[in-house]
Amino acid sequence: MDIYEKIYDTVLRIPKGRVASYGRIARMVGCGPRQVGYAMGTIPDGLEVPWHRVVNSQGKVSPRGDGGSDNEQRRRLLAEGVIFNNNGKIDFERFGWHISELPEDLSDWEEIIVED
Partner DNA sequence: TTGTTGACTCTGA
Partner DNA sequence: CTCAGAGCCAACA
Binding site for DNA (CB under 7 A): 2-4, 21-24, 26, 31-38, 40-43, 51-52, 54, 56-58, 62, 64-65, 69, 73, 87, 89
* Cα atoms in the 13 Å half-sphere on the side-chain side of 85: 11
Nearer to DNA, 43 or 102 (CB): 43
Q: Which residues contact 42 (CB under 8 A, 6 or more apart)?
A: 4
Please report how close the Cβ of residue 97 comes to DNA at its closest, in angstroms: 13
Please report how close the Cβ of residue 26 comes to DNA at its closest, in angstroms: 7
Of the candidates 2, 7, 101, 87, the one whose C-alpha atom is nearest the C-alpha of residue 54 is 7
